[in-house]
Structure 1
Amino acid sequence: MRPPALAVVGWSGSGKTTLLTRLVPELRQRGLRVGVVKHSSDAHPLHREGSDTARYAEAGATFVAFANPAGVQLTFPEPPGEVLALLERFAGSVDLVLVEGWKQGPLPKLEVWREGLGPLLAAERRDVLAVVAEAEVPGPVQRFAPDDVQGIATFLQQCLRDGVLSR
């Protein structure tokens, strides 16, 4: 079983990361334990080329962890699309996981949209619960201004209570 999760989606440059870095502390202040997963369609290297951890991964280690006083980074090979299996690993330790990206994934979505970057996904998708945008958006979807972090947090808490993020 996975913890409740929401994908925060939008075109590159729309403000997803900025929103999340403001939303996480607001949700934490409200008593929620929040995890964040950054999803990318591009295959970025997970380790610095030639590093010890890269060599362990290349050797076939089941997982590679890098620990220092700043924290722990854990990497393991996962087939593409296994984000849901990753989320299951955090069941019981978080109240909500926010996944930045993963437009095509099965999670309910909060779309961050900015005119001129690409079409509004909510116009054609039923899995978008609300849109964060400066401009008005067509259709019946709920819209939040980018600076309305408290309103977005309240909306997410209601979605949690209603079980919308657990489906």
Structure 2
Amino acid sequence: MTGRKPHIIGFAGYSGSGKTTLAVQVVDRISRHGLKVAVVKHDGHGHYRESEGTDSARYAATGAEAVIVAGPGYSYKYEKTGGGAGLGNALAGLDGFDLIVVEGFKKEPIPKLVLMRTEEQVRDGSLIDDHTVALVLKKIGDGTYPAAGERNIPVLDIDDPDGVAAFVLRRFSYI
């Protein structure tokens, strides 16, 4: 990718909806197309911690503003942003990627796939907004999807990561 901002696609859903499982599978498939993909995962509850006792955790505990761990073929960066947990802070510095997959940040105004596993979640519909580009649903007992009401939004199968990856690739004209 040259000179363009990366495309962004979000994976939003209730806790336990399968966001991480599906996003990991989709990123794997999209990466096989030769695209450079970054992932930003929201930790809305502040549960993430560096593993206690690791050197990077010890440095972070000292008050270091940034800790970078570099190894063969990778680097990991932990940085205090001071600006809160906003998506804008997390996206800063991610130019040079083709696609950024965002997990969580369900209220952010980005194109997103909304995952729902139950008919009740679909009926509630509170996660669906003007930025929802597709509903990713679990089929119900009779093999159909729960009715999405009057919404004119594509429906994808939560158990079909190949289909979801193809949808994302088509949306951004990569295939």
Report TM bin, short chain.
Answer: 0.7 to 0.9
Q: Indicate if the aligned counterparts of 1:9 and 1:111 stay in contact, CA closer than 8 A.
A: yes
1:51-73: CA deviations, max 9, x gaps?
Answer: 44333223322201234558432
Aligned to 1:165: none
Pick the structure with more helix per residue. Answer: 1
Q: How does 1:66-85 map to 2 (within 5 A)?
A: 66-68=69-71, 71-78=74-81, 79-85=83-89
Structure of higher RCO (CA pairs closer than 8 Å, 6+ residues apart): 1
- Once the two structures are TM-superposed, the CA of residue 50 in structure 1 deviates from its matched residue by 5.2
Match of 1:105 among 83, 108, 112: 108
1:54-95: CA deviations, max 9, x gaps?
Answer: 332233222012345584321011222332233231211x21
Aligned to 2:142: none
- Once the two structures are TM-superposed, the CA of residue 153 in structure 1 deviates from its matched residue by 2.0
Distance 1:100 1:14 in 2: 12
- Once the two structures are TM-superposed, the CA of residue 116 in structure 1 deviates from its matched residue by 6.0
Matched residue SS, 2:40: strand
Judging changes above 3 Å, is the alpha-carbon distance between structure 1 residues 24 and 75 closer, same or farther for their aligned structure 2 residues? Answer: same
Q: Which amino acid letter does the alignment assign opposite residue 154 of structure 1?
A: A
Distance 1:9 1:100 in 2: 6
Please report the TM-score for the alignment, with normalisation by the length of structure 2. Answer: 0.77
- Once the two structures are TM-superposed, the CA of residue 150 in structure 1 deviates from its matched residue by 2.8
- Once the two structures are TM-superposed, the CA of residue 22 in structure 1 deviates from its matched residue by 1.4
Q: Which runs of 5+ in 2 are unaligned?
A: 139-144
Aligned to 1:37: 40
Distance 2:76 2:166 in 1: 31
Provide the aligned length of Structure 1 versus Structure 2. Answer: 160
Aligned to 1:46: 49
RMSD between aligned residues: 2.5
1:114 aligns with 2:143: no
Please report the TM-score for the alignment, with normalisation by the length of structure 1. Answer: 0.81
Q: Which amino acid letter does the alignment assign opposite residue 84 of structure 1?
A: G
Judging changes above 3 Å, is the alpha-carbon distance between structure 1 residues 63 and 117 closer, same or farther for their aligned structure 2 residues? Answer: farther
Q: Which runs of 5+ in 1 are unaligned?
A: 163-167
Percent identity reads: 32
Q: Which amino acid letter does the alignment assign opposite residue 147 of structure 1?
A: D
